[in-house]
Structure 1
């Protein structure tokens, strides 16, 4: 059976709540491999909620639908403060990327408390800025950035990540609205461990199954290389 945009593979999926240091409750979901422990964990930080970003933004939904089964990964998705999705609405109001530092911390604390291994932050657009600004935590193994605009997060955050020393990969669409590969390589050069991967033909929102497959494969290549490359078909009718 070919894996398509709508494919949902077997996993243990459970609704979760995160509790922030400033007293908010955030709604989310944890997807785990069906019958074995995960080898690593993706903590997904979604695009800008004031422009439709949420835990169900399509790349993250497809990661949760596929990667527990295909790559033995735990996928933790949640709505940042004031953000709504089918799962529900998180407490609070949009904090402009500043108050969300408590949201990032709450997700990491949840992963730590529940013994989820090898936490990797996966930020997309606004989520990349949360990653760079607030993700420098000893619990973090590394980070993958999708369509980083480097708007709220800038050179000082890249310098701080350079000192942090953890792996950093930026997947940059050829036709991104905010930051394209050539400029991205120049700006990310401030962090010697950063790798910029330009993706031909892609746009900021990664629309289209070929681009989703590229994103998921590049994540898995770094987080669980043994599962790379991901299959495009699974047994079934």
Structure 2
């Protein structure tokens, strides 16, 4: 259970003092059905600061603070993959999109501390495929007696002003603050929405987004589910320790 995390933190701290062996933990996923605050999450991360962590998944954070991301970047600047899933209250058990307490660009500013980060996933609620008020223009034109108003049905794959799509504007600040980023994933209860980042010859940032993952992207590498039985194990002698804890 989530209440055991402080005891686990204490155990890790004591174990580090009693042994001279190195910690080979490179992949860690904490899946918590009841959210935990920074007062629990940050001490746990600090207890693991000697680990060569490459992929971190925190599924079930409460605060969604700038401080948490800043501390993660300070403790693990060489992370390659990071997933943060916020739960808005203790009643919420299912992972779905959530309202975070700050603007997306404020979180992006914390990412300049990462040196190798390629993948970031979170459940920040972004309005895409939500209807805009632009339909009111059609009503106004019809009410004024206009005979040139286009009332035809538009297919989903057509460029439309009738639907919000802020995914690109949300992604760009992260790409600027963290030049190594390749993929940002927006997580909802029903699907993942992928934003692939590329850079042109002169450094121009381009974002391609959609429900299909970018070419070469494997979700299993970054945030495996229990149905997928976790990360693939590696053989010794250079075995990496990859742990998934369901709490």
Q: TM-score under structure 2 normalisation?
A: 0.37
Q: TM-score under structure 1 normalisation?
A: 0.38
* Higher normalized contact order (CA 8 Å, seq sep 6+, divided by chain length): 2
